[in-house]
A and B are shown apart, each in its own frame.
Chain A
Amino acid sequence: MLRCEAEVFRPRTLNDALQMRADMPDATVLAGGTDVMVYLEAGVLKPTRILDLWGCQGLRGLGFADGSQVYGAGLTCTDVLQSVQAHPLLRDAAATVGAVQIQNRATLGGNICNGSPAGDTLPVWLALNAEFELASVRGFRRVPAATFWRGYKQMDLQPDELLVSIHVPAVTGNSHFRKVGTRMAQAISKVIFAGRSVAGREARLAFGAVGPTPMRCAAAEEALVAGAPVDEVVRLLEEEIVPIDDVRSTALYRRKVAGRIVRRWLESLPRG
């Protein structure tokens, strides 16, 4: 029932991909296709050209460079789950994406560049102080995850750019991931949380599905670093997040559940 008459381009190398991207800024970029296929079926996307990166070499590595862990943008959720090197927060998040079939195709880069506020892996990058490496025929640049998503599905990404890798510096502390959906698989998140805390030094409280973009709660993070009581941290984050009522849940539920999840985690941490 799905009919799409777009011309499909399948670059084999990053150079070819960047050249095609420069030549065809209007082309729909397809990584694993788990979002694009849905848009096609729903009729909300009617591309004439598709740039299919699935077979593009060099995007599925996981290694180290300059003291950072480097994740290829083409890594799938399954790749992450099968890798012992991947950060536990990312593994937790990857395990909650769709179900096995989706995890086999869904890529880290696709999730980031689709930019849905409910993208399951996105708060993880905020919690890990990640930077996104963007490439074009003009060169490379890095953008912190914290400034990449500018508004609802608005990204700091030029029409000729592709996300090629994610750089995660060596970070420490206790971390925690939680996804709240209604069912065990194929669930779109109502609330996603990724947190990391180094007592007295650094805190990251990152959420998805409670605002127009994946977001950090800066005031609550500051209070946590300053050693404020859990009640105060929770009160601040409940003020900072901006959930809405929609077909999946209510703003009230999202706000309260976000607070409960963080409270439960913080109360489980060793004090001091």
Chain B
Amino acid sequence: MVIGTSPPRRDGMDKLTGRSLYADDLRPSGVWYGATVRSSRAHARILGVRRAEGFDWSNVVLVTADDIPGLNVVSLMTDDQPVLADGIVRHVTEPIALVAAPTREHALAAAQHVVVEYEDLPALFDPLAAEGHELRIFGEDNVFKRIRIEHGVRTDATAHLIRGRYTTGLQEQLYIEPQSMLAELRADGGITLTGSMQCPYYIDRAVKRMLGHDRVNVAQAVTGGGFGGKEEYPSILACHATLLAIAARRPVKITYRRDEDLRATTKRHPAVIDLVTMVTARGQLLELHGRVWMDGGAYHTLSTVVLSRAMLHLQGPYRWPYASLHGTVVATHTPPNGAFRGFGAPQAQWAMERHMDRIARHMRLDPLVLRRENLFVHGDVSVTGQTLQNPGAFAVLEAAERAAAAPVNPKRVRPGVVGAEMRSGRGLALAWHGCGFTGNGEAKIRGKVALELRGRDVAVLSSSTDIGQGTETIFPMIVAQTLGIDMERVFNTAHDTGLVPDSGPTVASRTAMVVGGTCEKAAQRLLRHLRELHGEGDFDALAARAEAAGGLVRVEETYEVNTNVEWNPDTYQGDAYPCYGWSCVIVDLRVDLDTGEVLYDRVVTATDVGKALSPVLAAGQIEGGTLQALGWATQEEVVLDKQGCMRNDRLTNYIIPTALDGPEMITELVEIPYEGGPFGAKGIGEIPMDAPAAAVAQAIEAACGAVLDSLPMTPERVFAAMEAR
């Protein structure tokens, strides 16, 4: 039984010993290096692009929008984003031209000597002002997507009306490895792309449309983290590297510098969320009226889906007899925001959990009693009309409370801090998270997995990449368990679109649950197939007969959706997700009364994971995600200049938690199986991002009375909130 154990991760030793080849380690002979000429303006007409005089251009290729053979579009959901700006720039750092040269320094120098002449145009930076503004960025009203949800029956009971506004800021994914992509010309005139990515097939489609032909394959290199930042963005690097490789007639690689990566690539969508609720004197929730604005930036990317997930999680893990929700994601002249772990749900649940605390404050109720009163139980109905089966809200709450009963070992105070006046506080928050794609997303994608016999071993062919979460280990575990063989005999092939079927993107807490489930079904199909060919017997006997017979043995399996109520994308009613994960977080921290700094002593998390396929990998996902959420809570702030460009574009001034900032973590894995997942597993990749920030806010309030409803809760903001008490 390998499922439920924690074998060493397949990629672990190579990564530890430096043998893994990341994209920037790939140096095919004759490779040149690419660099990007970017807009310095938020909104401008491009009057001209030219080579500066006095620079040696002999060994440099220059590419502009005129050199694009097919569509000048980064294909994703809508066709609004150009590969290279054509006449207009709509955000600072927008790519205008590309250069390649024999060395990276040469390419970077050449990029600095490309002169762009602009005619400045007025720009919109505030999403609340941009909606419906006469200055158009997107469509008729600068709204990428508007979602309305109404459900249930309004109350006629006597109730208290409580309203609040909650905001969140930009956050950078901060994968360790910056974006990197290598383009190589194929003998048939096509292109092979190898790079750092989550979703090979996104890139495959984007490059094919830009080229106007389909002689393209895309392979993942070892990837140093993604967190959503390598979901859609790598398509841009791939298109750029492709154009340069064609122009230079040789391999071209683009690797962003960290500062460029921070300035140019997507971030978490900022949100402004107004909640108005009706609550009885006893604390029973009656009505939820929600208004959500998200800032999508200058191009659509995945904003529609981010807003969708935000709206579907806004109610939190609570029962609302009536809800009326209205959300818009708006265009501004800022770098596009995109996928980031949690995908809108963390912003929405930050607002709801803070609002629950506001209700408790207002009604003089214990915040925990208020939550218990309204937490989902079996048979409750969500605002989309989905009946919840066996929700784990109470189970994770109880598991977290049990674990948090242990005494806290205070963390040592940071170096250089003597005699500070610290106050302790504890905070608790709850969250739910829909696993897999929203609505009928999985039905549309129909993700596929293939298995092939290689001798007596089994190859797993999928486009689900390992970006640190453990896919290279989990898929072989699932297949080996299903076939009844040793895990050492099962391996993932390269994630190359020339070889593997489209399993759907590596996103949305879907890889282990959805694609892993498809691996399980594929293994069952392989057994059936072998029995049809070679009679009865266990896998070993069948594989031996198949090997003797020769020929390719391959099966392919497609994910089949199994929901009770079909999703209606127009009314936003139906089963929004096949299942939900549940999480409770209890934070113990101390606030420095003189500086507003927060010191984390301990974080207890209890998460319903369905089934921990590998407990070590599951806990790793949750603990890493929790630390990332603590960074979002109190440290990570993107500082913009007047053009909307990130000023703190270095690891020294964009502050993320270090290992020393990490608290003691107690990680409880609760297992309420989901029958549609492999061995009962649910998605766990994103849920750790949802609850910690609100638990931190409640703990800060408990410690020092400061009430914070905006993220990040930097020391400056905590200090100001303490002064405002």
CB within 8 Å of B: which residues of A?
A: 1, 3, 38, 42, 92-93, 95-96, 99, 120, 176-180, 182-188, 190, 247-250, 253, 256-257, 260-261, 263-265, 268
B716 contacts A250, C-beta separation under 8 Å: yes
CB within 8 Å of A: which residues of B?
A: 24, 104-105, 255, 257, 259, 414-421, 594-597, 635, 639, 647-648, 650-653, 655, 657-661, 714-716, 719-720, 723
A92 contacts B418, C-beta separation under 8 Å: yes
Provided the pairs A176-B418, A256-B719 are in contact, do residues A184 and B594 lie with their beta carbons within 8 angstroms?
A: no
A182 contacts B414, C-beta separation under 8 Å: no
In angstroms, Cα B49 to Cα A103, docked, is 47
Please, which residues of chain B bring their CB within 8 A of the CB of A182?
A: 597, 635, 655, 714-715
Given contacts A186-B652, A247-B647, 15 further A-B contacts (CB under 8 A): A92-B416, A92-B418, A93-B416, A179-B415, A180-B597, A182-B655, A183-B657, A184-B658, A184-B661, A186-B651, A188-B652, A248-B648, A253-B720, A257-B594, A264-B421
Please, which residues of chain B bring their CB within 8 A of the CB of A263?
A: 594
In angstroms, Cα B653 to Cα A186, docked, is 10
Pairs A–B under 8 Å by Cβ, sample size 15: A1-B255, A38-B652, A120-B416, A178-B416, A182-B715, A183-B655, A183-B658, A183-B660, A188-B652, A190-B715, A248-B648, A249-B715, A249-B716, A253-B720, A257-B596
In angstroms, Cα B652 to Cα A159, docked, is 29
Taking the closest CB of chain A, its distance from the CB of B106, in whole angstroms, is 11
In angstroms, Cα B420 to Cα A178, docked, is 9
Question: From A92, which residue of chain B is reached at the shortest CB distance?
Answer: B416
Taking the closest CB of chain B, its distance from the CB of A212, in whole angstroms, is 18
In angstroms, Cα B659 to Cα A176, docked, is 27
Please, which residues of chain B bring their CB within 8 A of the CB of A184?
A: 414-415, 658, 660-661
Which of A96, A250, A253 has most chain B Cβ within 10 Å?
A: A253
In angstroms, Cα B420 to Cα A194, docked, is 14
Question: From B108, which residue of chain A is reached at the shortest CB distance?
Answer: A43
With beta carbons under 8 angstroms apart, the residue of A120, A179, A257 that contacts B719 is A257
In angstroms, Cα B413 to Cα A95, docked, is 12
Provided the pairs A183-B635, A183-B658, A184-B660 are in contact, do residues A178 and B652 lie with their beta carbons within 8 angstroms?
A: no
Taking the closest CB of chain B, its distance from the CB of A76, in whole angstroms, is 16
In angstroms, Cα B675 to Cα A73, docked, is 67
Please, which residues of chain A bring their CB within 8 A of the CB of B421?
A: 264
Please, which residues of chain A bring their CB within 8 A of the CB of B420?
A: 178, 264
B653 contacts A188, C-beta separation under 8 Å: yes
Taking the closest CB of chain B, its distance from the CB of A232, in whole angstroms, is 19
Please, which residues of chain A bring their CB within 8 A of the CB of B105?
A: 3
In angstroms, Cα B652 to Cα A179, docked, is 16
Please, which residues of chain B bring their CB within 8 A of the CB of A3?
A: 105
A261 contacts B661, C-beta separation under 8 Å: no
In angstroms, Cα B413 to Cα A179, docked, is 12
B719 contacts A185, C-beta separation under 8 Å: no
Please, which residues of chain A bring their CB within 8 A of the CB of B659?
A: 185
Question: From B662, which residue of chain A is reached at the shortest CB distance?
Answer: A184
In angstroms, Cα B594 to Cα A93, docked, is 19
In angstroms, Cα B417 to Cα A265, docked, is 11
Please, which residues of chain B bring their CB within 8 A of the CB of A42?
A: 259, 650
B418 contacts A178, C-beta separation under 8 Å: yes
A185 contacts B418, C-beta separation under 8 Å: no
Taking the closest CB of chain A, its distance from the CB of B91, in whole angstroms, is 20
Question: From A93, which residue of chain B is reached at the shortest CB distance?
Answer: B416
B419 contacts A268, C-beta separation under 8 Å: yes
With beta carbons under 8 angstroms apart, the residue of B104, B418, B597, B657 that contacts A1 is B104
B658 contacts A185, C-beta separation under 8 Å: yes
Taking the closest CB of chain B, its distance from the CB of A91, in whole angstroms, is 10
A260 contacts B594, C-beta separation under 8 Å: yes
Please, which residues of chain B bring their CB within 8 A of the CB of A187?
A: 655
A257 contacts B595, C-beta separation under 8 Å: yes
In angstroms, Cα B657 to Cα A99, docked, is 13
